[in-house]
Structure formats: structure tokens, C-alpha cells
């Protein structure tokens, strides 16, 4: 099996593959810090050139065609037109980052330096608006700035949290149509992120893409609202779901089944040790909307649905299955109760595990290459048995990860197949 898309589709159908299907760079949760991408290019002797920052929020780098081939990657991504900070991915220009690396950033990547040396970034690239993100001095990615005005309980209006959920414009639809067709021509599987289906994703709640966000935008306040203001949250989710279903219909009419996987949501429900959302809250507040999205996709398309959820979420797995999700990521095996063998035995016939390939908190950044090799082989042996597995690291590969360890991971995942084929 040397067709990348066929390998992905076999994995999604829980069928055996000649080697593990591999993804690096197709989504905002399966990528690499821009510094790691540059280090890999140097290691493999590729042309020295600035790497594109395709996700300015997390500072993820583009895994381009040269690296996709070398790494044996089977999946390519289609990302939204606009970044997390609301400016489009166009008008690329060079930029020197605080750690000295020269990269390419979109034209809307406008920053200033705060008094403490941190970088401030602006929504829609508008420096006259309050900054919406901060990269701390000696940091390597941005955090959202909370810009919520004081809450007047009597004046709370759910419509204030609906501003970002709009019918897809003609230009957005044209963008997705062009990008999906381009991705499909690559011969790799296509994982698309359309946006608008992430119910309560805490990374999106502060709305770093809006100049003057209204409503409940503080992270702590939002989490309290999921318990104390559920009617408010339901109203937001109901509007969001209605708009999302209409947008999905438009996209499918335009591109059909050129897409293999759709990234539905990145809302996290787990900590390192436990769930931080009760199962009852999940079932009552989130599941109805996930199920409507997933049911529509399964009834009208051949797409598989992708759910990102970090942490110790084993007790939630059956509920995610009941909500209609096909794929779970990042499979955080280091969290409590997330033993890889148990997960595969218990849920492997119903869920595709997209991740779990290597621990990015300890083994990959701090282990030795031989430790990386050993863990990768073990995880592939467990997760890839009888299909239902896409190899990638447990979340994005971060700055200062030794390139020798990244290479050990790549070469082990490709064992039995010549690198670059």
C-alpha cells in the first residue's frame, strides 16, 4: 500500500495497513513549532529558507511538500481562511522572532513590544484595537488576553457570544473549495478544519480574532457559566449549531467527498488526573449539539469526524462515541486512566485513535533517541493492530525538542518503508 489516501482510509475503516498512517501538520493539534520545522529542514539538508508560520497563536510551522515526503506523511490539512487573530493567511513577509529565527508571517501579523519585553499581537492586524494576544518575554507562542468588560448580570445577552458564528461568505466558500481541491490533488488524505463547530472551546472563548468582543469572554467566567448560566450557554450553542449545519451543507455541495476527515471540535474536558466536566454536564450541555453535527455529517457525507480532547478522559470515551465521533485525539496516554492497551481493547473497534504515538511532555522533549524509538514502537504495536490508528505525537511538538528525537520518532514510525516514499 503506497497510496497515502488509501492508507488513511484503511485506518479510518479499522483495516490493517502496511505501516501506521502518519500525520504531522494537518491540524492545529498535530503540528510542530516553527523552530522544530526549521531544525528538521536543516537535518535533512533541505534548502535553507524561512518557514511559514501557519498558526500564529501556537507558532506552528508549515510542514511543506518536501518534509511531507521525507516524513512519510499521509494526510494534509485544509485550515480556515483566517488565523486565530482574525487576519487572513496571505501577504507573507519575513519576520525575526524573539529567539532569532527568521520566518514568514501573514501580512496581518502586527506586533508591538510591551514594557516587560513581551510581544503583543492585534486582532485583524489592527494596532489601534486593544491587543488580543501576548507572547511572554522568552516565550515561544501567544496566550490570549482577557478583554471582557465587567459583567452586568441583568444585561447579559447570549447574542453577544454569537458574533463569530456567521453564514459562510462566498469568499470563504471559494477559499475552501480551492484549497480542498488542491489538497486532494496531492494524493494524500484530506483533513479539513472549517470552524464554527467547536462548542465551548476555551481557546476560542476570549475571541482573540475580534477587536471588541462582547458577552462572556473571560475563561473563569465562562467555566462558571457552564454551571450557573446553562440557559445562556444553550442559547449560544443552539445558534452556533444552526449556523454550522448550514455552512457544512454549503461546503459539501461544493467539494463532495474530497474531504476524508473534518475537525469538529477541540474543547477539552480532562486534566492530567481527572475530568473537569461531569458526565452529566457533558450529556446535557454538549452532547446534543455534537450529535446533531455528527449525525448530519454521517447522513450526508463520507467524512469522518475528529474530536480533540486532552487529559484523563477515559470515562468520557463511551459518551463521545454516543455523540457520534469517529476519531479521538490526542490520546494522552500519560494522563490518569489512559493506558494505551486498555484504551485499544475497550474502544478500538469504535474509535480511531489519532495520536498517542509519543509523549510530548516527557519522552520526546527530554528522553534519549533510543527511549523515543522504544515508545514509538510500543504505541504502534498497540494502537495499529487491526487498524484504527493514525500516528502522531500527543499534541504539538514544542520548541526546544531535540531534532535527534524528532528524527528517531519519524524513522521509527516509517520502519519497513523507505523514507520519502
Question: Tens digit of pLDDT for each residue in 292-332?
Answer: 999 999 999 999 999 999 999 999 999 999 999 999 999 99
pTM here is 0.96
- Report the 10 Å Cβ neighbour count for 395: 20
Between CA 356 and CA 233 the distance in angstroms is 32
Between CA 98 and CA 78 the distance in angstroms is 28
Is it the case that residue 417 has pLDDT exceeding 50? no
Taking the domains of the chain in order of start, what are their residue ranges? 4-48+65-84+157-413
pLDDT of residue 304: 98
pLDDT in tens, 16-61: 999 999 999 999 999 999 999 999 999 999 999 999 999 999 999 9
pLDDT in tens, 327-385: 999 999 999 999 999 999 999 999 999 999 999 999 999 999 999 999 999 999 999 99
Is it the case that residue 421 has pLDDT exceeding 90? no
Is it the case that residue 86 has pLDDT exceeding 50? yes
Cell reading at 139: 516565550
**Across-strand partners of 308?**
329
pLDDT band at 415 (very low <50, low <70, confident <90, very high): confident
Is it the case that residue 5 has pLDDT exceeding 80? yes
pLDDT in tens, 106-124: 999 999 999 999 999 999 9
User: Is the domain covering 4-48+65-84+157-413 a CATH 3.20.20.210 domain?
Assistant: yes
Amino acid at each position: 500500500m503506497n497510496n497515502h489516501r488509501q492508507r488513511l482510509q484503511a485506518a479510518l475503516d479499522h483495516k490493517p495497513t502496511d505501516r501506521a498512517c502518519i500525520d504531522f501538520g494537518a491540524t492545529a493539534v498535530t503540528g510542530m513549532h516553527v523552530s522544530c520545522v526549521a531544525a528538521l529542514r536543516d537535518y535533512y539538508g533541505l534548502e535553507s529558507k524561512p518557514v511559514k508560520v501557519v498558526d500564529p497563536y501556537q507558532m506552528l510551522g508549515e510542514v511543506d511538500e518536501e518534509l511531507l515526503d521525507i516524513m512519510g506523511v499521509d494526510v494534509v490539512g485544509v485550515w480556515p481562511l483566517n488565523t486565530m487573530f482574525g487576519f487572513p493567511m496571505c501577504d507573507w513577509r519575513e519576520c525575526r522572532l524573539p529567539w532569532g529565527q527568521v520566518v514568514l508571517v501573514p501580512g496581518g501579523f502586527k506586533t508591538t513590544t510591551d514594557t516587560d519585553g513581551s510581544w503583543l499581537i492585534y486582532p485583524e492586524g489592527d494596532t489601534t484595537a486593544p491587543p488580543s494576544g501576548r507572547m511572554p518575554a522568552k516565550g515561544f507562542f501567544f496566550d490570549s488576553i482577557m478583554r471582557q468588560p465587567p459583567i452586568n448580570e441583568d444585561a447579559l445577552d447570549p447574542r453577544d457570544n454569537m458574533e463569530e458564528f456567521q453564514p459562510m461568505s462566498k469568499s470563504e466558500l471559494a477559499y475552501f473549495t480551492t484549497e480542498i481541491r488542491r489538497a486532494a490533488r496531492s494524493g494524500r488524505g484530506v483533513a479539513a478544519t472549517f470552524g464554527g463547530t467547536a462548542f465551548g472551546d476555551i481557546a476560542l472563548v476570549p475571541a482573540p480574532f475580534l477587536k471588541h468582543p462582547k458577552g462572556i469572554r473571560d475563561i473563569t467566567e465562562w467555566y462558571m457559566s457552564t454551571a450557573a448560566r446553562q440557559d445562556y450557554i444553550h442559547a449560544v450553542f443552539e445558534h452556533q449549531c444552526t449556523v454550522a449545519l448550514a455552512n457544512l451543507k454549503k461546503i459539501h455541495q461544493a467539494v463532495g467527498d474530497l474531504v476524508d476527515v473534518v475537525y469538529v471540535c477541540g474543547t477539552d474536558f480532562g486534566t492530567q488526573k481527572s475530568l473537569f466536566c461531569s458526565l452529566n454536564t457533558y450529556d446535557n450541555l454538549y452532547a446534543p449539539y455534537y450529535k446533531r453535527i455528527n449525525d448530519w455529517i454521517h447522513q450526508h457525507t463520507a467524512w469522518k469526524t475528529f474530536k480533540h480532547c486532552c487529559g484523563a478522559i477515559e470515562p468520557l470515551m463511551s459518551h463521545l462515541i454516543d455523540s457520534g465521533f469517529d476519531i479521538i485525539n490526542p490520546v494522552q496516554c500519560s494522563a490518569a486512566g489512559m493506558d494505551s492497551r486498555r484504551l485499544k481493547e475497550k474502544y478500538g473497534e469504535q474509535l480511531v485513535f489519532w495520536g498517542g504515538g509519543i509523549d510530548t511532555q516527557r519522552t520526546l522533549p527530554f528522553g534519549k533517541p533510543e527511549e523515543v524509538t522504544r515508545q514509538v514502537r510500543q504505541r504502534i504495536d498497540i494502537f495499529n493492530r487491526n487498524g484504527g490508528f493514525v500516528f502522531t505525537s500527543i499534541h504539538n511538538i514544542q520548541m526546544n525538542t531535540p531534532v535527534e528525537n524528532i528524527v528517531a520518532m519519524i524513522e521509527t514510525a516509517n520502519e519497513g518503508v523507505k523514507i520519502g516514499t
